[in-house]
Structure 1
Amino acid sequence: MHSELQELGRAVKRVQYRQHRALETGLAAVGTTLAQWDALRAVGRQPGASARTLAAETFQTEQAFGTLAGRLVAQGLIERTPGHGRRIDHRLTPAGERMLEAGRTVAEEVLADCYADLPAADRTALLGLLHRVLGEEPA
């Protein structure tokens, strides 16, 4: 017998899984993956950030982010430059900016579809509840 909390946890996971699958499909059409686009978003939000900061922002280990960043450099989407001490700073290239924007367009379409059954007030309420669960202040 499942408790209501277990059912809630599973429902959140199912929504996330459905959303990720749809994003992967849409992002593949513009030539990127969800992991790559998420990294581009993180670099775009925090230009000059370290691998440690970007790894935390993208829910990865530093090693995994470093490998991903290497692929993004090879694709010409980001550049890495020496920072303070041993730190490596990350910035988007013009091609990275274009890919980030293409991904944003895809994400808006995918997410609109994922949450189409919820009126705007329900989406706002859901977002507020998730911020509360996370112990965050709404943006």
Structure 2
Amino acid sequence: MTPFGPQLVGETEKALGAVLARVLDDTGLAERQWVALRLAGQNDGRSELVGLISDRAHFADAERIVASLTDRGLISGNRLSPAGQRLLEELRTRVDSVAAPIWRELPPSDVAAAERLLNTVARRARSVLAEWES
């Protein structure tokens, strides 16, 4: 059993990333495009999408990712196109279906503790990044 820390978080992220890659296999989307598509789905169109992706996902190539999704007709302006919305909904359903056994029957108190802990780690990591960027 790997103790809690960067190695365990990394191993977990890699395993979940491999599951996601299998789900995305037949879509032609890479993981970074999936992340951008999800962020575009949360955007009301008022925020500049490239900046949102850069800020939230820390992708230096956000402009290229948005351009690739725009070229595929999945993004229009700063939001999802109807085709992008359909693909996002389809993929969310597939991800939920494949991932269900991973998350099923986790004790709610453990989920709440993990949520608090990971949000704290993420907040601290964003703070470190902000210091480097200033």
- CA-CA distance at 1:37 after TM superposition: 1.5
Q: CA deviation at 1:67?
A: 0.8
SS of residue paired to 2:5? helix
1:111 to 99, 118, 128: 99
How many angstroms does 1:99 deviate by? 1.0
1:88-110 C-alpha deviation (Å, 9 max, x unpaired): xx111000001111121122234
1:99 aligns with one of 72, 83, 87: 87
Question: How much identity, in percent, do the aligned residues show?
Answer: 28
Could you tell me how far 1:47 is from its partner in structure 2?
2.9
Aligned residue pairs, count: 120
Counterpart in the other structure of 2:18: 21
8 Å Cα contact 1:30/1:102 also seen in 2: no
Q: Radius of gyration: which is bigger?
A: 1
Q: TM-score, normalised by structure 1?
A: 0.74
Alignment-derived partner of residue 62 in structure 2: 65
Call closer, same or farther: CA 1:134–1:32 in 2, change over 3 Å: closer
From 88, 110, 120, the equivalent of 2:108 is 120
2-side partners of 1:60 and 1:30: how far apart?
A: 21
Higher RCO (C-alpha 8 Å, min separation 6): 1
**Secondary structure, in 3 states, of the residue corresponding to 2:76?**
strand
Higher strand share: 1
Could you tell me how far 1:9 is from its partner in structure 2? Answer: 1.1
